[in-house]
Chains A and B, each alone.
Chain A
Amino acid sequence: MSTYVYGIVRDNEVLDAAKLTGVGEPPAEVRSVRAAGLAAVVSTAPEGLRAKRRDLAAHQEVLVELARHGSVLPMRFGSVADSEEEVAAELERSRDHYDRLLTTLEDRVEVNVKATHIEEAALRLVLTEDEGLRAENERLRASGGGTPAERMAFGERVAEALEDLRARGSEAVVRPLRAHAEQVVIGPPVDGCLANVSLLVHRDRLDDVAQEVNGLRAALGELMDIRLNGPLPPYSFVTEAAQTG
């Protein structure tokens, strides 16, 4: 029977697996596979598992709970091993690597910040900043919107100006946050956000990050919506790439 894997912790971490409920319907019972001083937190993989809201939430909940008790290496959603024996073999095989990672991430959590332009405010700003665009906008408006070709050309210039504004906005959001992080991973522009940044921070510095974000909101809140998510299991900091970056 295949085994769904949530994450890897140290064997001596508090593992009150009984409190945890896993993926599937009804939720699978969560247990541990112990080997090499490590423990993989797993459950029996349900048939036909897909990325449904319920299962994504279950995956996240298990990891959030584990992170509350200590260092955890979160698996990407949907990781399935053939058997518990395979999981144990993997813990043995890569024990040094996992041990190092767990040490690095001790008392650290991920905080993710996403910022999205408030479109009307952003458009207003690019027109305010660029006299040429503003004049063209007035001209098109005076002529009842202009021809389709004119509207297209104008819209393309606006899109370019917005892209430039996004890049500057991203810098404005990310730069002050870097000061609080031990590692930084820039994520993709999900849902059109202008900044998607994950910070690895010490638990003691969570308040600093929250304050920094409040400061950013005070300064930029009319132009962009800034969301702070965390503390989270360190999803963005468990790959080799993240370690060197």
Chain B
Amino acid sequence: MTVMQQSSGGGKSSGNLYEVLDLILDKGLVIDVFARVSLVGIELLTVDVRIVVASVDTYLRFAEACNRLDLTSSGGVGLPDLVGGTMESGSHGKAKGALSGAAEAISESFQRGRDDEQDKEKQPVRRRRTAKKEGDE
């Protein structure tokens, strides 16, 4: 049973309380004849994310975050394959496949993570050089 509490922060049997807050507050049995204590302010937790995402601030933040991304690094290359593959193959068989090769995949992704870091270290230098060149011209 304890195996399952993978994301639990504390050692308590309930695991990570914050992670299951929506269940404790919004699910569970409701009996009409009983009252419920006031939860003013708490409902904000489950605000539909689409309301937050469709805002001017979010648009600007996304635009700036994209501008900062360096797509010439190899970071993004593996992801479309992974996502597309998992979803297009009806996923269950694929996930099982991924499971048997899990250890391999994990070590690969660590490797890829390291490569990314190396790329990131190299990248700024290259960019600075380009910028300088432009400035010189």
Closest CB-CB distance, A69 to chain B, in whole Å? 13
Q: Chain B interface mostly helix, strand, loop or mixed?
A: helix
A228 closest partner in B (C-beta): B6
Residues A152 and B20 in contact, CB atoms below 8 Å apart: no
Residues B69 and A123 in contact, CB atoms below 8 Å apart: yes
Kindly state the separation between the CA atoms of A123 and B24 in the bound complex, as whole angstroms. Answer: 32
List which A171-201 residues lie within 8 A (CB) of chain B.
171-172, 175-176, 179, 185, 187-193, 196, 198
Task: Select A73's contact among B16, B29, B62, beta carbons within 8 Å.
Answer: B29
Complex contacts, A169 vs chain B, CB 8 Å: 83
Kindly state the separation between the CA atoms of A82 and B35 in the bound complex, as whole angstroms. Answer: 8
Residues A81 and B63 in contact, CB atoms below 8 Å apart: no
Q: Chain A interface mostly helix, strand, loop or mixed?
A: helix
Kindly state the separation between the CA atoms of A159 and B60 in the bound complex, as whole angstroms. Answer: 10
Closest CB-CB distance, A87 to chain B, in whole Å? 8
Residues A127 and B91 in contact, CB atoms below 8 Å apart: no
Residues A156 and B20 in contact, CB atoms below 8 Å apart: no
Complex contacts, B109 vs chain A, CB 8 Å: 218, 221-222
Q: What 14 additional pairs, Cβ within 8 angstroms, besides A172-B86, A236-B23?
A: A65-B13, A80-B34, A114-B19, A120-B69, A137-B71, A152-B59, A156-B59, A172-B87, A172-B91, A210-B3, A214-B102, A215-B95, A219-B82, A229-B20
Given A222-B82, A229-B19, A163:B50 Cβ within 8 A: yes
B58 within 8 A of A: yes
Task: Select B33's contact among A53, A86, A119, beta carbons within 8 Å.
Answer: A86
Closest CB-CB distance, A145 to chain B, in whole Å? 6
Residues A238 and B28 in contact, CB atoms below 8 Å apart: yes
Residues A151 and B37 in contact, CB atoms below 8 Å apart: no
Complex contacts, A39 vs chain B, CB 8 Å: none
For A103-146 the 0/1 string (1 means CB < 8 A from B) is: 00000001110100001110111011100011001001100011
List which B27-42 residues lie within 8 A (CB) of chain A.
27-31, 33-39, 42
For A54-72 the 0/1 string (1 means CB < 8 A from B) is: 0011011100110000000
List which A91-111 residues lie within 8 A (CB) of chain B.
94, 110-111
B113 closest partner in A (C-beta): A222
Complex contacts, A141 vs chain B, CB 8 Å: 67
B125 within 8 A of A: no
Complex contacts, A179 vs chain B, CB 8 Å: 92
Residues A78 and B36 in contact, CB atoms below 8 Å apart: yes
Kindly state the separation between the CA atoms of A202 and B61 in the bound complex, as whole angstroms. Answer: 43
B70 closest partner in A (C-beta): A124
Task: Select A137's contact among B22, B42, B49, B67, beta carbons within 8 Å.
Answer: B67
Task: Select A128's contact among B12, B22, B62, B80, beta carbons within 8 Å.
Answer: B80
Complex contacts, A221 vs chain B, CB 8 Å: 109
B2 closest partner in A (C-beta): A231
Residues A145 and B67 in contact, CB atoms below 8 Å apart: yes
A232 within 8 A of B: yes
A230 within 8 A of B: yes
Residues A61 and B28 in contact, CB atoms below 8 Å apart: no
A223 within 8 A of B: yes
Residues A80 and B38 in contact, CB atoms below 8 Å apart: no
4 closest A-B pairs by beta carbon, nearest first, are A155-B59, A76-B28, A235-B27, A155-B63
Q: Can you show 24 pairs from A to B with CB atoms below 8 A apart?
A: A5-B34, A7-B29, A61-B12, A64-B14, A74-B29, A76-B24, A79-B35, A81-B35, A110-B23, A119-B65, A121-B79, A123-B65, A141-B67, A151-B64, A152-B56, A159-B59, A179-B92, A198-B23, A214-B99, A218-B109, A219-B94, A222-B109, A228-B6, A236-B27
